[in-house]
């Protein structure tokens, strides 16, 4: 799968339904039939939408963990808590379950942001706050994460 590109502002109705933005729907088109998995983010107050193929690859990795190790078992339980299988209907809408709407404090306006192989779904205000918070030390973060000699030619 190629990486998902773009940040899109959308609206969610009172039932938690949202229409996929056309540009994002085109990128996800090859995966629409297989469905998606929606889960809580580990580090942020947002949701993560995994194409089923990406979710299955991740589950293969987790399946290698020893379930008789308490930390591994606790991690798996917490990581998969609240996970839901999501389908996009014929009109391009998906339904965010109420418990996940509450977790991400999603109101009417949201942001859907491609994050390499998944889509993050944020309440718009929380997304703007997270972006603003990250800009303060983004140069240091970029240097720490991407500045190592890992065969990356760099960007500027």
Q: pLDDT digit string (tens) for 64-90? A: 999 999 999 999 999 999 999 999 998
Q: What's the CATH class of domain 7-146? A: alpha beta
CA distance 17 to 100: 12
Q: What is the pTM of this model?
A: 0.87
- State the chain's maximal CA–CA distance in angstroms: 48
pLDDT at position 5: 94
The share of the chain scoring above pLDDT 70, in percent, equals: 92
Taking Cα atoms as reference points, which of 30, 33, 25, 12 lies closest to residue 119? 25
pLDDT at position 144: 83
At 121 the three-state DSSP class reads strand
pLDDT at position 135: 66
């Amino acid at each position: 799968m190629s990486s998902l590109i773009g940040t899109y502002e959308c609206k969610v109705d009172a039932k938690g339904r949202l229409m996929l933005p056309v540009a994002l729907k085109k990128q996800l088109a090859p995966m629409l039939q297989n469905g998606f998995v929606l889960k809580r983010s580990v580090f942020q107050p947002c949701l993560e939408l995994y194409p089923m193929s990406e979710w299955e690859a991740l589950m293969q990795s987790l399946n290698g963990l020893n379930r008789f190790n308490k930390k591994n078992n606790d991690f798996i339980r917490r990581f998969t808590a609240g996970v839901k299988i999501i389908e996009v209907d014929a009109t391009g809408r998906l339904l965010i379950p109420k418990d996940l709407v509450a977790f991400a404090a999603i109101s009417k306006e949201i942001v859907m942001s491609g994050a390499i192989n998944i889509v993050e779904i944020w309440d718009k205000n929380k997304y703007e706050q997270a972006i603003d918070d990250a800009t303060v030390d983004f140069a240091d973060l970029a240097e720490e994460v991407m500045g190592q000699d890992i065969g990356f030619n760099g960007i500027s």
